[in-house]
Amino acid sequence: MSAQPDAFTVPADPDPMSYDRKVLFVAGAGRSGTSTMAGLMKIMGLHVPQPEVEPDETNPKGFAEPAWAVEHHSRLLREAVVQVSDSRPDAWFETGRVSTREPERIKTAEWLEGHFAVNPELVVKDPRLSWFLSLWRVAAIRCGATPVFATMLRPPSEVVGSKQKYYANRLGSAHLAASWLNMLLHTERATRESVADGGRVFIRYGDLLDDWTKAVMYTGEQLGLQHILHAKSERIRDAHRFVDPGLRRVSGSLDDLGLPKRLHELVADTWTELNKLADEGGDTPEVHEALDQLREGYVELYEESEAISRSSVVAAEQKTRRGREKPGKEGGADAPVDSADPAYVADRIPHGLRAAIPPGVRRGLRRAVGRER
């Protein structure tokens, strides 16, 4: 007679290395809680590929960012001539072009593959990530892994205020708000197809700080993250110690930013629709349609602003040229500068103007002032 299992026997814990391969990509604008989310995932058992970016005074609890991914994204952004906070709708075409290069896809997939030997569930996070979501999706699939996405949501007024406070950002509220709008509208659209695939979630930063257990368990259930579903009590205790509501050190309302009327309306309406995605069952075709219309509205506003500001752009280019041609002065012809260095250009042309110039217009302006390259 065969032995019958004891009704009180506790089933053996599954072997984590037996879990299906999955990569959680934590997306969202910088200063929106992506580090807290990725840090929690690491504590709960997912693997952040090593080495990581070191903590600093702007993020004392750590970034939970793979250093390789940060360097990878930074190089690709330089090649695409795109800023981390870039308000141009056309910037997505530039990063998309870079993302389709086969050598970059191979390099990214090979890097991911090497880390699955450590853990079948990885978490990749970087504020630059959203620019290259298609690249990472392809890389994960080539590794036999399911890509899943968690996008962090924080009120745009707090994101802008936090960037100005902790990054000494002098680009102005309007530019930073427009960059937030551009980033979040594209991130939502770029992850939409995952609704029918591995899945995606939108998590409010405030919800994560108020009750991280609810937000993290919801993420685990929706995305099928086995480390979350089988988390041990000691990991949960560590996570409780990790989350600090005091990290939310910047507050304020959208009215405080003093945005132009139409931009204010677009940012406010986009925030309203994105919030619906964070509600259970809120990821609906109706919300998708509303966000598509808002994205179209932003492109229209940007193109109008671009056309109006063209004279300012030409004037800025001409002033830059004159400054470089004056010998003996800082920034003049004798100064040891690299004209291809983004920092050099940023010191001489306001980012708000530079970002408003589409690539084709920039090339035309260079020809007009004798700086074609």
Q: Which of 308, 323, 340 is the last residue of a domain?
A: 308
Residue 192: the pLDDT is 94
Instruction: Based on the fold, state whether residues 242 and 98 are members of the same structural domain.
Output: yes
In a domain, 11, yes or no: no
In order along its 373 residues, the chain shows pLDDT tens digits of 455 555 444 456 789 899 999 999 999 998 899 999 999 999 999 999 999 999 888 788 899 999 999 999 999 999 999 999 999 999 999 999 999 999 999 999 999 999 999 999 999 999 999 999 999 999 999 999 999 999 999 999 999 987 776 555 567 899 999 999 999 999 999 999 887 777 999 999 999 999 999 999 999 999 999 999 999 999 999 999 999 887 666 678 899 999 999 999 999 999 999 999 999 999 999 999 999 999 999 999 999 999 998 898 889 888 888 877 765 544 443 344 344 444 434 444 444 444 444 445 444 444 443 444 3
Instruction: Based on the fold, state whether residues 298 and 324 are members of the same structural domain.
Output: no
Residue 17: the pLDDT is 92
Instruction: Based on the fold, state whether residues 228 and 315 are members of the same structural domain.
Output: no
Q: Are 313 and 365 in contact (CB under 8 A)?
A: yes
Q: Which of 275, 308, 341 is the last residue of a domain?
A: 308
Q: Which of 25, 23, 24 is nearest to 187 (CA)?
A: 25
- CA separation for the pair 84, 30 (Å, rounded): 9
In a domain, 340, yes or no: yes
Residue range of the domain that includes 154: 18-308
Residue 333: the pLDDT is 38
Read off the tokens for 4.
Answer: 């019958």
Q: Which of 269, 289, 308 is the last residue of a domain?
A: 308
In a domain, 84, yes or no: yes
């659209």: which residue's tokens? 189
Q: Are 334 and 328 in contact (CB under 8 A)?
A: yes
């509208």: which residue's tokens? 185
- CA separation for the pair 180, 183 (Å, rounded): 5
Residue 203: the pLDDT is 98
- CA separation for the pair 208, 231 (Å, rounded): 17
Instruction: Based on the fold, state whether residues 233 and 300 are members of the same structural domain.
Output: yes
Work out the number of other CB atoms within 10 angstroms of the CB of residue 241. 8
In a domain, 23, yes or no: yes
Residue 58: the pLDDT is 79
Residue 308: the pLDDT is 93
In a domain, 7, yes or no: no
Q: Which of 46, 76, 87, 51 is nearest to 66 (CA)?
A: 51
Instruction: Based on the fold, state whether residues 232 and 357 are members of the same structural domain.
Output: no
In a domain, 155, yes or no: yes
Strand order in the sheet with 121-125: 121-125, 22-27, 146-153, 200-204
CATH code of the domain containing 54? 3.40.50
Instruction: Based on the fold, state whether residues 155 and 293 are members of the same structural domain.
Output: yes
Instruction: Based on the fold, state whether residues 242 and 185 are members of the same structural domain.
Output: yes
Instruction: Based on the fold, state whether residues 173 and 68 are members of the same structural domain.
Output: yes
Between the alpha carbon of residue 115 and those of residues 31, 49, 175, 277, the distances in Å are 27, 6, 37, 31
Cis peptide before 5 (omega within 30 of 0): no
Q: Give me the number of domains the chain comprises.
A: 2
Instruction: Based on the fold, state whether residues 272 and 336 are members of the same structural domain.
Output: no
Q: Are 23 and 16 in contact (CB under 8 A)?
A: no
Contacts of 112 (CB under 8 A, 6+ apart): 23, 49, 122, 139, 140, 143, 145
In a domain, 282, yes or no: yes
Between the alpha carbon of residue 360 and those of residues 18, 86, 94, 345, 366, the distances in Å are 51, 17, 12, 18, 10
Instruction: Based on the fold, state whether residues 280 and 325 are members of the same structural domain.
Output: no
Work out the number of other CB atoms within 10 angstroms of the CB of residue 364. 13
Instruction: Based on the fold, state whether residues 72 and 98 are members of the same structural domain.
Output: yes
Instruction: Based on the fold, state whether residues 221 and 245 are members of the same structural domain.
Output: yes
Instruction: Collapse the DSSP code of 117 into the 3-class scheme (helix H, G, I; strand E, B; otherwise coil) and give the result.
Output: coil
In a domain, 8, yes or no: no
